[in-house]
Structure 1
Amino acid sequence: MSTSPPKTTEAWTYTSPSTPRTALTLTTSHPLTFPPSNSSEETLLISVSHAALNPGDIVSLTAMPFFLHSTPSAVPAFDFCGTVLQSHNQARFSPGDNVICFPPLPHMLKTGIGGLQKIVPIPAKYCVRLPQGKKLIDGAGLMLAGCTALLQVRQAGVKKGDRILVVGASGGVGSAAVQIVRDVVGLGGYIAGVCSGRNEGLVRSLGADEVVDYTLHRDLPGYLTERFGGEGRRFDHVIDGYGNQELYKSCAGFLKEGGVYDAASIHYASYRLWDLLGSVVMIGLNILWPRAQWLGGTGRRFKICSLGDPGLEMMELLAGMLGDGKVRVVRDSVWGWREVKEGFDVLMGGHAAGKVVIRVGEGEE
């Protein structure tokens, strides 16, 4: 390397669980650790341009015991993009390359790094090249939501010509799912998206054939059964980016026998630890409870998306879809570096249409 890497950077850090407004502190001296010279792994020093906020960041901030971290302070944001400043053991990347980064949770717990810091040292295996012709902001928020949606579509077994219901279709995961499903089912398939009516135009533009405005129906499961329960109208699979337990409990009315209800999570009432644990218990019951309806089950298979580390193959595939125009990141709003807490306020409100993005660097949009 031509110059020595910096020892510290400006970052939003936290040292104990609490709400983002309480937990986060802007510091100018968050420590950086670059690998020793005898390390064989390619490691990049990234100048972060944009970071996307995700519900997982809120969970880490508010409910995860801090003793799980190996560092005295930590930085949120799993999902970020930027420009390579330096490369240790240069192999895939060179200084000046624009990249999209998605370090998995175990790495973040071990190192304390996150996208809400100006400079990030990160193994190259957690990065992919930004497609040519795309701006850095185009990649912000792509990986976590996109990989989750892609895994859901794969787990459910969505295929060409299928009829698919996407729940939470205007959210981060749901907006990615609508686009990925459209690419898989083709023009002969059918997509209905559940979202607020104010986002109907957005969801149709992403590829949905029909939009169900949940705000108009007190009994949403009943309406879906009435609208889609007839012969030839039931869905082959449901991709739920929101985690609507009531819909799963009643999905036999609108989901074919043999169909899969694949959820990104089970929605929780709050980000308190006990609510999160309750969600985990409900996921287990959905998977293990007898599926026979006469035994109290739904009669339909339930799958949960457990993303973990998606791996380079999936990340490269998703980046390729971004480059080909098959997927775009829907942005609810973009906030400045000193407006991180305001960005978290929007995310915690639960009604963001797409991703909440933080402008970390000073580069172009």
Structure 2
Amino acid sequence: MKAFVATGGPELVRQAEVGEPVQRPDEALVKVDAYSVNRGEIFQLEQSAEGARPGKDIAGLVVQAAPDGSGPKVGQRVVGHPSSSGWAELVAVPVGSLALLPDSVTAVQAAALPLAGLTALRLLRTTGCVAGRRILLTGASGGVGHYATELAAAAGALVTAVSASSERGERLGALGAAAVVHEVEDARGTFDLVLESTGGKNLTSALSRLAPRGQLVWFGQASREPALLDFFDFFAGPVSATVRHFSYADVDEPDAADLETLVRLVAEDRLHPELGRTADWQQTAGVLADLRDRRIRGNAVLTIS
């Protein structure tokens, strides 16, 4: 079968012939119809050895059920979050990382959900109730940012979204952001909660915008610049503020339940994947380059014809 593998060089990936997946007892074999690529995966590919198999976000059709009899059956449409190897014609996915798709949710919509959607959903769950809270969200024009904006606004938060340009941030207002700014310094007032995903100077700037007893949650470093924090400045800043790190993978339960939640919200027209680019999977390398250079807002999805 065909799949994309890491090159170990600047082009990042190439298409190659690989062996078909060998299922474990609790894995279903899925024919992939669409998959999403994420900026974080680009950073991983830059460090990957030649032949590594990327791909965490897939949607498709079960062609062989799990040998242990669990999970989806043959012929059912699913969205999945494998640990790797999803950029391929076939992938074996643990049944705990699969959710069924209703007819109203397309494979392209579903493929954009797992990594970005799980991150946004769990990030907000980590912070507790957000109703009535003022939230500052950096890196808002990516896949996670669009989901986090819509979910938080729907829960009653007042979201100020930081996006580098008007073009990249144009959908955030429609998704419920109370304000969209281009720099952290342009945000007005102080915030009960800062969701920071860019690192570098933005983390320090965002920290200074916390209200007393506010919280900053750091969940990414898209700028790839180190964040330098002077704790003397921090102690002189907002009273009793906290800083914490978040990882979307730090959960005790399988992904299936949260994937089911995301799918349900899309089916009910309450969550809207921002599909900044949809293309045939032969264009994967070019889409990765555009995503790395911030020429795509939201999610990028590749389809296998």
TM-score, normalised on structure 1?
0.74
- Write the deviation string for residues 94-117 of structure 1: whole angstroms up to 9, x where unpaired: 11111111123xxx3xxxxx2210
Alignment of 1:1-365 (within 5 A): 9-14=1-6, 17-19=8-10, 21=11, 23-35=12-24, 39=25, 41=26, 43-64=27-48, 66=49, 73-87=51-65, 88-104=67-83, 108=84, 114-185=85-156, 189-195=157-163, 196-214=165-183, 220-221=184-185, 223-224=186-187, 227-228=188-189, 234-240=190-196, 242-251=197-206, 253-269=208-224, 279=226, 282=227, 292-294=234-236, 300-308=241-249, 311=254, 312-360=256-304, 362=305
**Preserved contact between residue 163 and residue 236 of structure 1 (Cα < 8 Å):** yes
**Preserved contact between residue 152 and residue 263 of structure 1 (Cα < 8 Å):** no
Offset of residue 139 of structure 1: 0.5
SS in 2 for 1:90: coil
CA distance in 2, matches of 1:30, 1:51: 19
Instruction: Name the CA shift for 1:178/1:297 in 2 (closer, same or farther; >3 Å).
Output: closer
**Preserved contact between residue 191 and residue 209 of structure 2 (Cα < 8 Å):** yes
Offset of residue 57 of structure 1: 1.6
Structure 2 runs not aligned, ≥5 long? none
**Preserved contact between residue 79 and residue 101 of structure 1 (Cα < 8 Å):** yes
Offset of residue 200 of structure 1: 4.2
Q: What code does the residue aligned with 1:204 have?
A: G
**Preserved contact between residue 213 and residue 239 of structure 2 (Cα < 8 Å):** no
Structure 1 runs not aligned, ≥5 long? 1-8, 67-71, 109-113, 215-219, 229-233, 270-274
Structure 1 stretches of 4+ moved >4 Å: 288-292, 296-299
The structure with more helix, counted as a fraction of residues? 1
SS in 2 for 1:103: coil
* Higher alpha-carbon Rg: 1
- Write the deviation string for residues 8-62 of structure 1: whole angstroms up to 9, x where unpaired: x111112x6333x1x4221133342134xxx4x3x21111011111123212211
**Preserved contact between residue 81 and residue 98 of structure 2 (Cα < 8 Å):** yes
CA distance in 1, matches of 2:249, 2:208: 32
Q: What code does the residue aligned with 1:210 have?
A: A
Instruction: Name the CA shift for 1:34/1:313 in 2 (closer, same or farther; >3 Å).
Output: closer
**Preserved contact between residue 32 and residue 120 of structure 1 (Cα < 8 Å):** yes
Equivalent pairs counted in the alignment come to 300
Cα RMSD of the aligned pairs, angstroms, is 2.6
Instruction: Name the CA shift for 1:89/1:309 in 2 (closer, same or farther; >3 Å).
Output: farther
CA distance in 2, matches of 1:176, 1:264: 14
CA distance in 1, matches of 2:239, 2:9: 37
CA distance in 1, matches of 2:137, 2:56: 24
Offset of residue 125 of structure 1: 1.3
CA distance in 1, matches of 2:42, 2:64: 31
CA distance in 2, matches of 1:292, 1:264: 19
- Write the deviation string for residues 113-146 of structure 1: whole angstroms up to 9, x where unpaired: x221001122211111123411111111211111
SS in 2 for 1:116: coil
- Identity rate, percent: 22
